[in-house]
């Protein structure tokens, strides 16, 4: 069970633990939105350090700042204030195209609704991120096949997303995230659209990826998912409410 009662002190305590070994350092991150003349603080001075091979879940109810955290961690959005170091790079001040490159190199996204390209086969979907690295078809195919093998889907590579079950689609999406050898895998409610049996399968796959040395960050509101993780960070009203390891 996740520990959820240590309060703000725990977050402060953990933030002090930042070392040079950290893969991700979010320091004093704030994100403000203008909404109808009012400033909404989606994130308010959050500091988090994430080490390599961490297996971390961000949990919290809706409006807690989870999505904003995901967007910033995934380099889809820039913080209003604060600094973000990812794998030794300062990413808080990059341009749109530089962020695209960082996402391609460092981040593997896994979405709740899979977000596969509907007109591409499983194989082509997995090959897609490599297109932006300008890799030849042959090399792309080789890497994609390896990635599909790792998620146990090498037999259905020429199927289109609508010919695959939910669990299979999510495996394709995980293969697509893995194929670029990113420094972090970032999953947004990865089992939200799956039944409990398939959820277990996917979580076992995540556990194995963690075991293989990947850094996984999962954003979820399901405590069962968070239980798989080694570290759980709970967000509340844009601040860290608790940060626990188990």
Partner 1 sequence: MLFSLIESFRSALIAIFANRMRSFLTTLGIIIGVASVISVVSLTGGMSAFIGDSFEALGSNSLTISSYTPFEDLMKGVRSRLSPEDLELIERRADGIASITPILAANRSSQIKYGPQTSFSEILGTTYAFQDVSQSYTQSGRFLAQSDNLTRRRVAVIGEEVRDNLNLPDNPINEYIEFSGEWFKIVGLLESRGEVMGQSRDNLVLIPYSTMVSILGNQTRTDIGIQLTLSPSAELDLVTIQLTALLRDAHNLGAGEEDDFRIQTPEQLTEQVDEILGTLTLVVGGIVSISLLVGGIGIMNIMLVSVTERTREIGVCKAIGAKSHHILMQFLIEAMLLSLIGGIIGLALGYGLGALISSGIPDFPPASVPPWAALLALGFSGAVGVLFGILPAAKASRLDPIDALRYE
Rule CB under 8 A: which residues touch partner 1? 71, 74, 76-77, 96-97, 100-101, 103-105, 109, 111, 115-120, 128-129, 131-137, 140, 176, 180
To the nearest whole angstrom, how small is the minimum distance from the Cβ of residue 130 to partner 1?
Answer: 9
* Shortest Å distance, C-beta 113 to partner 1: 9
Q: How far is the CB of 134 from partner 1 (least distance, A)?
A: 5
Nearer to partner 1, 13 or 132 (CB): 132
Q: Between 19 and 95, name the residue whose CB sits nearer to partner 1.
A: 95
- Minimum gap (Å) between residue 230 Cβ and partner 1: 26
The distance of closest approach from Cβ of residue 178 to partner 1 in the complex, given in angstroms and rounded to an integer, is 12
DSSP-derived secondary structure for the chain? -----S-HHHHHHHHTT--TTEEEEEEEEEEEEEETTEEEEEEEEEEEEEETT-EEEEE--TTSSHHHHHHHHTTSS--SEEEEEETTEE-TT--HHHHHHHHHHHEEEE-TT----TTS-HHHHHHHHHHTTT--HHHHHHHHHHHHHHTT-TT-TT--GGGS-HHHHHHHHHHHHHTT--SEEEEESTTTTS-HHHHHHHHHHHHHHHHTT--EEEEES-HHHHHHSSEEEEEETTEEEEEEE-
Q: 82 vs 182, which CB is nearer to partner 1?
A: 182
Indicate the residue among 101 and 207 with the shorter CB distance to partner 1.
101
Is the Cβ of residue 47 or residue 180 nearer to partner 1 in the bound state?
180
């Amino acid at each position: 069970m996740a520990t959820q009662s240590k309060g703000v002190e725990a977050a402060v305590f953990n933030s002090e633990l930042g070392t040079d070994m950290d893969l991700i350092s979010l320091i004093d991150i704030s994100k403000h939105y203008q909404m109808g003349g009012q400033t909404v603080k989606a994130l308010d001075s959050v500091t988090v350090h994430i080490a390599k091979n961490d297996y971390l879940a961000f949990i919290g109810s809706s409006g807690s700042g989870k999505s904003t955290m995901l967007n910033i961690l995934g380099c889809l959005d820039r913080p209003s204030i604060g600094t973000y170091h990812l794998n030794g790079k300062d990413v808080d001040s990059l341009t749109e195209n530089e962020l695209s490159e960082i996402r391609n190199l460092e981040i593997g996204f896994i979405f709740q609704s899979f977000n596969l390209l509907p007109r591409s086969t499983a194989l082509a979907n997995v090959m897609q991120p490599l297109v932006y690295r300008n890799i030849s078809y042959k090399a792309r195919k080789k890497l994609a096949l390896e990635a599909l093998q790792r998620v146990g889907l090498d037999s259905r590579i020429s199927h289109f997303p609508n010919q695959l079950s939910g669990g299979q689609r999510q495996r394709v999406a995980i293969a697509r995230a893995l194929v670029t050898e990113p420094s972090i895998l970032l999953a947004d409610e990865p089992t939200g659209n799956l039944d409990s049996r398939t959820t277990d399968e996917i979580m076992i796959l995540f556990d194995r990826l963690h075991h293989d040395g990947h850094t996984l960050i999962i954003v979820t509101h399901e405590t069962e998912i968070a239980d798989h993780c080694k570290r759980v960070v709970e967000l509340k009203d844009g601040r860290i409410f608790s940060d626990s390891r188990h």
